[in-house]
């Protein structure tokens, strides 16, 4: 394995097999690309800005410390933009842990003034990205070195590349209650056997199982194995929403992606002074 640092990003490749690799942008510590034997596993919009002017549209943006838009009833995070700041600030590359693992760090000193003023807690984030033969392990440590407790949401907003989303299902969430963000309503339970995609889909499953699968017929494309991340968000914008997003291209690219996002979003996690928290997810591609 080799780790190569560039000015704006870092790349890990499996030994001499550069066909299996992961590329992470320092901006947002966003995983931009994850390839196995040359095949890209993540969807990235062709119109995504990669110059640090806005959050990346695709790959794996990190959501912290709030999920979604300001609710108006959580003063500690209500001044922050949608999905918080972690995805739209430049992280520090801390270095490589071993020949297939790198770490990024973020603290108050890395925040622009307006964000630091909007969220004035002391915090340390350590993001670890580990490339394995057929999987990618990503984990986030959140530490509170300050005197004051803080609340946070966190989410690994993973855009999986799929051949055609209409042939894809998500298994493991069957018959669970979820919050339907499209209808703005709680759905008591899902009668579908597996989640299917034929329209805009935006669901928050609270207390979801640790493992969910993205399937194409009977074939498993990806296994998502989460640890200490109790919720799962499933999102596909479909025609109109994709049209509305200026950084979404091609416009019909929603057919080739599905977001299955592990995190803590239905409620805020609370971190006391001196406490720390770790959540991780292993994304396994079945190729
Ligand atoms: O456009 P963004 O801020 O990147 O958000 C993209 C999407 O993220 C999540 O999946 C949310 O559940 C969606 O409601 C949101 O549309």
Query: Cα(118) to centroid of ligand 1, in Å?
Result: 21
Cis preceding linkage at 255, omega within 30: no
Which of 66, 74, 83 has its CA nearest to residue 30? Answer: 83
Nearest ligand 1 atom to alpha carbon 157: 10
The answer to whether 77 touches 85, Cβ cutoff 8 Å, is no
| Per-residue model confidence (pLDDT) at position 17 | 63
> Average per-residue pLDDT in the chain?
96
Extended beta strands in 107-167, E state:
124-131, 135-143, 150-156, 159-161
CATH number at 2-285? 2.70.98.10
Q: What is the pLDDT of residue 228?
A: 98
157 is catalytic: yes
Mean pLDDT value of segment 47-75 = 97
> Ligand 1 centroid vs 73 CA: distance in angstroms?
20
Binding site members for substrate: 57, 82, 87
Quote the tokens at residue 85. 């700041």
Structure tokens at 149: 């407790």
pLDDT in tens, 187-211: 877 677 899 999 999 999 999 999 9
56 lines ligand 1 (CB under 6 A): no
- Binding-site residues, in ranges, read 57, 82, 87
Does residue 244 have an active-site annotation?
no
pLDDT of residue 186: 85
Active-site option among 83, 100, 157, 255: 157
7-24 pLDDT, tens digit per residue, is: 999 999 997 767 999 999
Give the pLDDT score at 175.
85
Looking at residue 193, what is its pLDDT?
81
Where do the structural domains in the chain lie, given as residue ranges?
Answer: 2-285
Q: Is the ipTM beyond the 0.95 threshold?
A: yes
Distance between CA 221 and CA 236 in Å, rounded? 17
pLDDT of residue 189: 77
Phi and psi (nearest 5°) for 253?
-65, -15
What's the pTM value of the predicted model, to 2 decimals? 0.98
Q: Whole-angstrom Cα distance, residue 50 to residue 26?
A: 10
Which ligand 1 atom sits closest to the C-alpha of 241? 16
Q: Is 234 in the pocket of ligand 1 (CB under 6 A)?
A: no
Report CA-CA distances (Å) from 69 to 143, 183, 243, 262, 266.
Answer: 24, 16, 20, 18, 13
| pLDDT for 191 | 73
């Amino acid at each position: 394995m080799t780790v190569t640092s560039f000015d704006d990003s870092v790349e890990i490749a499996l030994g001499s097999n550069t066909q299996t690799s992961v590329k992470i942008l320092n901006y947002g510590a966003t995983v931009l690309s994850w390839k196995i034997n040359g095949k890209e596993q993540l969807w990235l919009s062709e119109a995504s800005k990669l110059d640090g002017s806005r959050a990346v549209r695709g790959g794996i943006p990190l959501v912290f410390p709030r999920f979604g838009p300001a609710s108006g009833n959580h003063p500690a995070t209500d001044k922050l933009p949608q999905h918080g700041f972690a995805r739209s600030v430049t992280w520090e590359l801390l270095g490589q842990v071993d020949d297939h693992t790198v770490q990024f760090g973020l603290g108050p000193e890395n925040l622009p003034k307006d964000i630091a003023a909007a969220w004035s807690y002391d915090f340390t984030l350590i993001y670890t990205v580990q490339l394995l033969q057929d999987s990618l392990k990503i984990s986030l440590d959140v530490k509170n070195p300050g005197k004051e407790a803080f609340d946070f949401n966190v989410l690994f907003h993973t855009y999986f590349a799929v051949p055609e989303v209409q042939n894809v299902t998500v298994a493991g969430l069957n018959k669970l209650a979820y919050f339907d963000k499209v209808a703005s309503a709680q759905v008591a339970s899902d009668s579908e056997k597996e989640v299917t995609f034929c329209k805009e889909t935006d669901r928050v499953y609270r207390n979801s199982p640790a493992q969910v699968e993205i399937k194409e017929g009977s074939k498993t494309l990806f296994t998502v194995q989460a640890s200490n991340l109790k919720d799962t968000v499933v999102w596909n914008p479909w025609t109109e929403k994709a049209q509305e997003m200026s950084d979404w291209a091609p416009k019909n690219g929603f057919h080739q992606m599905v977001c299955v996002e592990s995190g803590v979003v239905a409620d805020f996690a609370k971190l006391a002074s001196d406490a720390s928290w770790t959540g991780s997810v292993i994304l396994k591609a079945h190729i």
